[in-house]
């Protein structure tokens, strides 16, 4: 009833706890979902041959998913709040990228810059994530000659990939319905 009047009791959660929940949960989704993406690309009938994406290639997929989600997060909070939360998340994310934190930070920053360039071409972050997967795993090399020359993803494959990757997007609306992040 209180929610009906615009008043609701939300759990208050710190930025540190939010970043931990986000990072651990998203990393688990990446680990659990990557084999499905790997199989989808390696066994796709819309490709001339398999790209043979390996289990070790998960690092690039993790980067794409986290950076895409960080961009989406930046649209859900005020700029200063988003920056504070982003910094906490990045600190926790680095451990999943490389044991050397400087190398991990360079990887992250380079990929973030690359992703921002993709966003200029693709307004939708999930489409940009799909383009990043297409590009990072050199999927163009495994397409028909016509699509290879155009350097464009097969539309059927691309739309399927978008649908798959939409399952890797953190639901900030649901999170914010239940929790109030305290900055």
Interval 169-181 mean pLDDT: 95
Contact between residue 89 and residue 23 where contact means Cβ atoms under 8 Å apart: yes
Contact between residue 142 and residue 51 where contact means Cβ atoms under 8 Å apart: yes
**Nearest 5°: phi and psi at 168?**
-105, 15
- The pLDDT confidence band at residue 8, using thresholds 50, 70 and 90, is low
Decide: helix, strand or coil at residue 124: coil
Q: Scanning the structure block, which residue is given the tokens 């699509």?
A: 147
Interval 59-74 mean pLDDT: 96
Angle between helices 101-121 and 79-97 (to 10 degrees): 130
Single pTM value for the model? 0.91
**Nearest 5°: phi and psi at 12?**
-85, 140
- The pLDDT confidence band at residue 50, using thresholds 50, 70 and 90, is very high
Tell me what pLDDT residue 64 has.
97
DSSP category for residue 43:
T
Residue 37 CA to chain centroid, in angstroms? 13
Q: Give one DSSP letter per residue of 133-155, joined into a string.
A: HHHHTTGGGGS-HHHHHHT---H
pLDDT at 78 exceeding the cut of 70: yes
Query: What does the alpha-carbon distance between residue 25 and residue 98 come to, in Å, rounded to a whole number?
Result: 19
Query: What does the alpha-carbon distance between residue 173 and residue 124 come to, in Å, rounded to a whole number?
Result: 17
- The pLDDT confidence band at residue 5, using thresholds 50, 70 and 90, is very low
pLDDT in tens, 116-168: 999 988 779 999 999 999 999 999 999 999 999 998 999 999 999 999 999 99
Angle between helices 155-166 and 15-42 (to 10 degrees): 150
Query: What does the alpha-carbon distance between residue 47 and residue 157 come to, in Å, rounded to a whole number?
Result: 8
């Amino acid at each position: 009833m209180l929610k009906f009047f615009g008043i609701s009791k939300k759990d208050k959660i710190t930025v540190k706890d939010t970043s931990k929940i986000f990072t651990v949960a998203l990393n688990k989704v990446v680990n659990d979902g990557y084999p499905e993406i790997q199989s989808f690309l390696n066994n796709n009938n819309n490709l001339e041959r398999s790209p043979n994406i390996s289990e070790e290639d998960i690092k690039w997929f993790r980067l794409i998913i986290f950076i895409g989600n960080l961009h989406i997060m930046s649209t859900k909070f005020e700029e200063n709040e988003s920056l504070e939360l982003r910094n906490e998340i990045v600190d926790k994310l680095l451990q999943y990228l490389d044991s050397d934190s400087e190398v991990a930070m360079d990887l992250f920053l380079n990929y973030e810059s690359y992703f921002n360039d993709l966003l200029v071409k693709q307004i939708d972050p999930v489409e940009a994530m799909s383009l990043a997967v297409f590009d990072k795993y050199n999927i163009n090399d495994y397409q028909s000659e016509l699509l290879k020359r155009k350097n464009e993803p097969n539309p059927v494959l691309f739309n399927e990939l978008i649908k798959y990757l939409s399952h890797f997007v953190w639901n900030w609306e649901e999170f914010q319905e239940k929790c109030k992040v305290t900055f």
